[in-house]
Amino acid sequence: MDAHSLEVEGLTAGYGGELVIEKVSFRLEGPQLAQILGPNGAGKTTLIKAILGLMEPISGRVIVDGVDITGDPKGAGPIVGYVPQLFGLEQAKYPVTAWELVESSYFMHRSRWPRLFSSDEVKAKIEKALKIVGLDEEAWRKSLWNLSGGQRQRVLLARAIVHDPPVLILDEPLSAVDPSGRAEIASFIGSLADEKLVLVSTHDPMLLLRHTRTVILVNKRFYAVGSPDEVLKLEVLSRVYAGAAIQVREHVHISDMP
Ligand SMILES: Nc1ncnc2c1ncn2[C@@H]1O[C@H](COP(=O)(O)OP(=O)(O)O)[C@@H](O)[C@H]1O
Ligand SMILES: [Mg+2]
């Protein structure tokens, strides 16, 4: 089992001169599962896009397995698998479009694309990936948009793991999945973290808690990093969730934001 590392140093990013995340620093060693936790609009997707170079960070550095991939999605491509955020019930202001879905993949695998659909070897890899994520074979040739939220999420997971990258970054992989499929996909993601460095954003830390070693709590320009015990406690969570973080004995529950 190989060790992997993701180092984020002083990462600052935003839109049109307005900062969303500011000077975020952390170092993850893997294999492990780390969560990026925060309410809607906290900057989780912005942090992920800045890490992948899908948006040019204003400042800071990103180093994966010793390779500087700052602002270089093509450099990130061979090392990092990425699952962009899809949307379920909660309407987001900036949903991913079909175009972005393909574009992010294109930017991260530019040099590989011509080969990707030709050889039998690649076909076998795609089949294997679709099987591993548990997508029913009858769904393999259907349009993404005719699939359920859970099936769609499985397709995106397969897309991210097909080239077997050591690092995986998943943006809210459980949000668009109906509750019945959630536990199964959560446990699949947990099992990926046995071998890979997996970074998952979420607004519900509980689904993956038993697999989680590190929590990165973000809310715009505030952030905190530590073990679940260090971060998932009332005095830290209250800085982000205010009255929505409720201590129930030793457990912390996060209700939907008002
Ligand atoms: N493409 C964009 N252009 C301008 N502002 C954006 C864009 N995407 C996100 N934002 C803003 O940046 C902030 C963080 O958004 P985002 O990173 O999507 O948060 P999260 O993923 O945690 O829900 C929000 O205030 C959002 O309105
Ligand atoms: Mg997001």
* Model confidence pLDDT, tens digit, residues 101-150: 777 777 777 666 555 555 677 778 888 888 998 888 988 888 877 788 88
pLDDT of residue 147: 81
pLDDT bin (cut points 50, 70, 90) of residue 248 is low
- Say yes or no: CB of residue 43 within 6 Å of ligand 1: yes
Mutate to test the pocket of ligand 1, among 45, 97, 175, 241 (most ligand atoms within 8 A of CB): 45
Which tokens go with 117?
A: 């659909």
Look at ligand 1, atom 26, and give the residue with the nearest C-alpha: 41
The DSSP code for 95 is P
Residue 90 has pLDDT above 50, yes or no: no
State which residues form the domain around 64: 4-254
* Residue from 6, 48, 8, 50 nearest 166 by CA: 6
**Which atom in ligand 1 lies closest to the alpha carbon of residue 171?**
21
> What is the rounded radius of gyration, in angstroms, for the C-alpha atoms of the chain?
18
Residue 240 has pLDDT above 90, yes or no: no
- Say yes or no: CB of residue 45 within 6 Å of ligand 1: yes
- Say yes or no: CB of residue 84 within 6 Å of ligand 1: no
Q: Residue 233: count other Cβ atoms within 10 Å of its Cβ.
A: 15
Helix (H, G, I), strand (E, B) or coil at 251: strand
pLDDT of residue 22: 96
CA 104 to ligand 1 center in whole angstroms: 17
CB of 234 closer than 8 Å to CB of 252: yes
pLDDT of residue 91: 47
Answering whether pTM is above 0.95, one says no
Residue 92 has pLDDT above 90, yes or no: no
**Which atom in ligand 1 lies closest to the alpha carbon of residue 94?**
8
Q: What CATH number has the domain bearing residue 185?
A: 3.40.50.300
CA 85 to ligand 2 center in whole angstroms: 6
Q: What value does the mean pLDDT of the chain take?
A: 86
Which tokens go with 4?
A: 């992997």
Q: Residue 247: count other Cβ atoms within 10 Å of its Cβ.
A: 13
Instruction: Determine the Cα–Cα distance for residues 256 and 40; give it in Å rounded to an integer.
Output: 10
Q: Do the strands 197-202 and 167-171 form a parallel or antiparallel pair, or are they unpaired?
A: parallel
Instruction: Determine the Cα–Cα distance for residues 128 and 208; give it in Å rounded to an integer.
Output: 24
CB of 167 closer than 8 Å to CB of 62: no
pLDDT, tens digit, for every residue of 32-53?
999 999 998 999 999 999 999 9
pLDDT of residue 151: 87
- Say yes or no: CB of residue 33 within 6 Å of ligand 1: no
Residue 251 has pLDDT above 70, yes or no: no
pLDDT of residue 116: 53
- Say yes or no: CB of residue 54 within 6 Å of ligand 1: no
CA 202 to ligand 2 center in whole angstroms: 8
Residue 253 has pLDDT above 80, yes or no: no
pLDDT of residue 166: 93
pLDDT bin (cut points 50, 70, 90) of residue 98 is low
How many domains does the chain divide into? 1
Cis peptide before 95 (omega within 30 of 0): no
